[in-house]
Amino acid sequence: MTTTLHRPEAVARTSGPRLADAFGEAVRKLHPRHQLRSPVMFVVWAGSLLVTAFAAIDPSVFTVAVALWLWLTVFFANLAEAVAEGRGKAQADSLRRTKADTPARKSTGEVVPGTELQVGDLVVVEAGEVIPGDGDVVEGIATVDESAITGESAPVIRESGGDRCAVTGGTTVLSDRIVVKITTRPGESFVDRMIALVEGARRQKTPNEIALTILLSTLTIIFLLAVVALQPFAIYSGGEQSVVVLTALLVCLIPTTIGALLSAIGIAGMDRLVRRNVLATSGRAVEAAGDVDALLLDKTGTITWGNRRATEFVPLAPASHEELVAAARLASLADDTPEGRSILELAGGPPATEHEKTGEFVPFTAQTRMSGIDLGDRVIRKGAASAFELTRTAREVVDGISARGGTPLVVAENGRVLGVIRLSDVVKPGMRERFAELRAMGIRTVMVTGDNPLTAKAIADEAGVDDFLAEARPEDKLALIRREQEGGRLVAMTGDGTNDAPALAQADVGVAMNTGTSAAKEAGNMVDLDSDPTKLIEIVEIGKQLLITRGALTTFSVANDLAKYFAILPAMFAAIYPALDRLNVMRLATPQSAILSAVIFNALIIVVLIPLALRGVRYRPSSASALLRRNLLVYGLGGVVTPFAGIWLIDLLVRLVPGIG
């Protein structure tokens, strides 16, 4: 599905649902089991069934027409949901084409179908072969074509020992050889989850959507009781109303418009995220993104490119440059991290000799903050400056590197500091501008890093974040998020490493980078396929757009009921109480044409609003009060005016129909 998710024009071609399929799905959704999911539309469905029965018993042009348009109201509501779901199904079909029963070559040499791989299996993948399942690279480095997942044609680097080790089943290795440790069971891969999510099969109603459904259900019950109570008064007044008229009144009074479009709005919000290469595992996260107050960003791989490389050796007297380089090389011989490999590349020199291979490698730990090698009576270590006793001169060198945004890595032999390695990381372009946009939205940005405070401050100043947390351990990130949440604020976190997983799980919106580890992607409730941390701006905009769209259409739905009162109530009772004819401000022709015009408008307005529900109301950064004024002016006033004009125009046509006009 190359480019299906990445290029908008490709999405328009391949993801747009065929209208015939949407119509067929809308008909299938007429089943009562589906209608029960929406109390409002179930009442309309039941009313349609009731009016149809009366039309069959005592047919008339008016009764048949009302029954037909009530069924069309239900059909149009189903069509809105079917069109929204159709987009996801088209994307799911494209994703399915990337799935294949890829053979997997285990590290033991056994070849098995990819569907038989279990968690923990080690598989070898070489150039030209397809990766058989989701996992982490545990050995080697390779370029990988991920266009089938991300739509981006440029290959990416995947390597062991860093935060760029996660690989996705169905992608292709272009060069070199890697060993992958499988991390998911068959049928639960990243592609499998994407298929289920974009189809809407696992879409659950969000808290706001549930609350609105309860409100709409309550209004429906109130109007149902009011209409039922209306008949005794009508009988007492000598103007008994038919069941058909009462049903038409009920359908026009309940909030049918928003009830019909509510599901489509939620599905379309998820779809807009997918079109921006973001996979959300819950609608709750999308809504929460619209109300985020603070954003925590991991520095390495998120704000910066993340591929810190050794760029300079700075010896400290009396050690020479050659002595420092030799010690740094020995300390990095067994270091399979990207930084370790870059030190070897900068140091040059021959491969490890047989004597050097006899040394005992000491891996890095969060407690010691250093790694190295024990070779005979030589104890060589490299690590964070805080792990060593530094002289004043050494401290000045370390502080100087940190102040310029570099990461100092101290090298020592037998306790004597030989010098410092400068590791350089680069801030991604456009970060300052993007953070300024977040600030304009009222979102506070905090950079979280394991670097020392001087390095962290330099990177924070360059990137333009509001605050930073230096020398952060996983528990520090978790504590910071909890402190922010204690004040009732919603927190978003982006990250890509395994050490980011606890914070991603705790955050209200956890956006994991696709280049990151499997643990990070499992912990977050969103995955950015482009691995662009500034994508959160778009995620926030989509979240706000979802909330605004739902609010705007709810306002419109409630407001347009006003015109229906002026259409139907005079038609029902003007003959009994002539004074009520003054409320017939639209001068509708007859009681039957007035009622039928209101029912027709009630159905057609759903069709008119489907594009808006799918596209969403445009979001412009502004205050909550400004958004409220805009909604009331555009959708509140518009919801009052539009039905008056619409019902009047429809009545001009309906009055021409024999038996009604």
Regarding predicted confidence, which is higher, 113 or 161?
Answer: 113
Beta strands in 33-134 (DSSP E): 103-106, 111-113, 122-126
Which whole number is the average pLDDT over 109-122? 83
Of 127-131, 369-373, 376-380, 497-501, give the lowest mean pLDDT range: 497-501
Regarding predicted confidence, which is higher, 428 or 27?
Answer: 27
Q: What is the pLDDT of residue 1?
A: 31
In sequence order, the 6+-apart residues with CB closer than 8 A to the CB of 661 are 589, 590, 593, 654, 655
Q: Is pLDDT of 83 > 60?
A: yes
Q: What is the pLDDT of residue 98?
A: 54
Confidence of residue 412 (pLDDT cuts 50, 70, 90): very high
Distance between CA atoms of residues 295 and 272, nearest Å: 21
Distance between CA atoms of residues 544 and 287, nearest Å: 7
Q: Is pLDDT of 574 > 90?
A: no
Q: What is the pLDDT of residue 374?
A: 92
Q: Is pLDDT of 608 > 90?
A: yes
Q: What is the pLDDT of residue 16?
A: 42
Confidence of residue 10 (pLDDT cuts 50, 70, 90): very low
Of 500-504, 603-607, 641-645, give the lowest mean pLDDT range: 500-504
**Does 432 belong to an annotated binding site?**
no
Q: Is pLDDT of 526 > 60?
A: yes
Q: Is pLDDT of 43 > 80?
A: yes
Residues linked to residue 621 through DSSP beta bridges, in sequence order: none
- CA 50, 51, 53, 57 torsion: positive or negative? positive
Distance between CA atoms of residues 417 and 650, nearest Å: 88
Q: Is pLDDT of 471 > 60?
A: yes
Q: Is pLDDT of 141 > 70?
A: yes
Regarding predicted confidence, which is higher, 238 or 344?
Answer: 344
Beta strands in 388-453 (DSSP E): 407-413, 416-424, 444-448
Q: What is the pLDDT of residues 278-299, one digit of tens each?
A: 877 776 788 888 888 888 887 7
Distance between CA atoms of residues 521 and 265, nearest Å: 26
**Does 339 belong to an annotated binding site?**
yes
Of 7-11, 173-177, 334-338, 501-505, give the lowest mean pLDDT range: 7-11
Q: Is pLDDT of 529 > 50?
A: yes
Distance between CA atoms of residues 547 and 613, nearest Å: 11
Share of residues in the chain with pLDDT > 90 (%): 19
Token pair 């994508």 in the structure block, residue: 535
Q: What is the pLDDT of residue 2?
A: 30
Confidence of residue 564 (pLDDT cuts 50, 70, 90): confident
Regarding predicted confidence, which is higher, 575 or 455?
Answer: 455
Q: Is 376 left (phi over 0), alpha (psi -120 to 50) or beta?
A: left
Q: What is the pLDDT of residue 49?
A: 95
Q: What is the pLDDT of residues 165-216, one digit of tens each?
A: 778 777 888 888 899 988 887 766 666 666 665 555 445 666 777 888 898 8
Confidence of residue 14 (pLDDT cuts 50, 70, 90): very low
Strands 278-280 and 467-469: unpaired
**Does 371 belong to an annotated binding site?**
yes
Which whole number is the average pLDDT over 591-620? 89
How many other β-carbons are positioned within 10 Å of the β-carbon of residue 618? Answer: 9
* Residue 386 DSSP class: G
Which whole number is the average pLDDT over 477-493? 86
Q: Is pLDDT of 565 > 60?
A: yes
Q: What is the pLDDT of residue 50?
A: 94
Which whole number is the average pLDDT over 316-345? 89
Burial class (CB in 10 A: 0-12, 13-18, 19+), 638: middle
Which whole number is the average pLDDT over 110-123? 83
**Does 367 belong to an annotated binding site?**
yes
In sequence order, the 6+-apart residues with CB closer than 8 A to the CB of 479 are none
Whether 352 and 373 have beta carbons less than 8 Å apart is answered as no
Confidence of residue 66 (pLDDT cuts 50, 70, 90): very high
Element (H, E) at 303: none
**Does 364 belong to an annotated binding site?**
yes
**Does 496 belong to an annotated binding site?**
yes
Which whole number is the average pLDDT over 86-93? 65
Return residue ranges of the chain for CATH 3.40.50.1000.
278-303+428-529
Burial class (CB in 10 A: 0-12, 13-18, 19+), 155: middle
End-to-end CA distance of the chain: 56
Structure tokens at 230: 């209306």
Confidence of residue 304 (pLDDT cuts 50, 70, 90): confident
Length of the chain in residues, anyone? 661
Q: What is the pTM of this model?
A: 0.67
3-state secondary structure (DSSP) of residue 139 = strand
**Does 152 belong to an annotated binding site?**
no
Distance between CA atoms of residues 433 and 510, nearest Å: 22
Q: What is the pLDDT of residues 335-386, one digit of tens each?
A: 877 788 889 989 987 888 888 888 899 887 767 778 899 998 999 999 988 8
Q: What is the pLDDT of residue 34?
A: 87
Structure tokens at 291: 């109300």
Axis crossing angle, helix 535-559 with helix 591-615, rounded to the nearest 10: 170
In sequence order, the 6+-apart residues with CB closer than 8 A to the CB of 559 are 635, 636, 637, 638, 639, 640
**Does 194 belong to an annotated binding site?**
no
Strands 378-383 and 172-173: unpaired
Distance between CA atoms of residues 504 and 29, nearest Å: 37
Structure tokens at 142: 């390779």
Return residue ranges of the chain for CATH 3.40.1110.10.
307-426
Chosen CATH of 118-185 out of 3.40.50.720, 2.70.150.10, 3.40.50.300, 2.60.40.1110: 2.70.150.10
Q: What is the pLDDT of residue 11?
A: 33
Return residue ranges of the chain for CATH 2.70.150.10.
118-185
Q: Is pLDDT of 45 > 90?
A: yes
Whether 256 and 40 have beta carbons less than 8 Å apart is answered as yes
Residue of 163, 271, 298, 530 with catalytic role: 298
Q: Is pLDDT of 17 > 60?
A: no
Q: Is pLDDT of 92 > 80?
A: no
278-303+428-529 has which CATH code?
Answer: 3.40.50.1000
Q: Is pLDDT of 628 > 50?
A: yes
Distance between CA atoms of residues 374 and 438, nearest Å: 49
Q: Is pLDDT of 4 > 60?
A: no
**Does 345 belong to an annotated binding site?**
no
How many other β-carbons are positioned within 10 Å of the β-carbon of residue 604? Answer: 16
State whether CATH 3.30.530.50 applies to domain 307-426. no
Confidence of residue 8 (pLDDT cuts 50, 70, 90): very low
Q: Is pLDDT of 444 > 60?
A: yes
Please, what is the average pLDDT of the chain? 82
Q: Is pLDDT of 410 > 90?
A: yes
Q: Is 423 left (phi over 0), alpha (psi -120 to 50) or beta?
A: beta
Q: What is the pLDDT of residues 423-443, one digit of tens each?
A: 887 787 788 888 888 888 788
298 noted as active-site residue: yes
Q: Is pLDDT of 81 > 80?
A: yes
Q: What is the pLDDT of residue 376?
A: 87
How many other β-carbons are positioned within 10 Å of the β-carbon of residue 166? Answer: 25
Q: Which of 4-18, 226-240, 313-327, 559-573 has the highest mean pLDDT?
A: 313-327
Regarding predicted confidence, which is higher, 17 or 163?
Answer: 163
Confidence of residue 307 (pLDDT cuts 50, 70, 90): low
**Does 382 belong to an annotated binding site?**
yes
Q: What is the pLDDT of residue 91?
A: 61
Q: What is the pLDDT of residue 20?
A: 76
Burial class (CB in 10 A: 0-12, 13-18, 19+), 29: buried
**Does 368 belong to an annotated binding site?**
yes
Going by C-alpha positions, the residue among 280, 350, 346 that lies closest to residue 311 is 346
Q: Is pLDDT of 12 > 70?
A: no
Structure tokens at 551: 């609010």
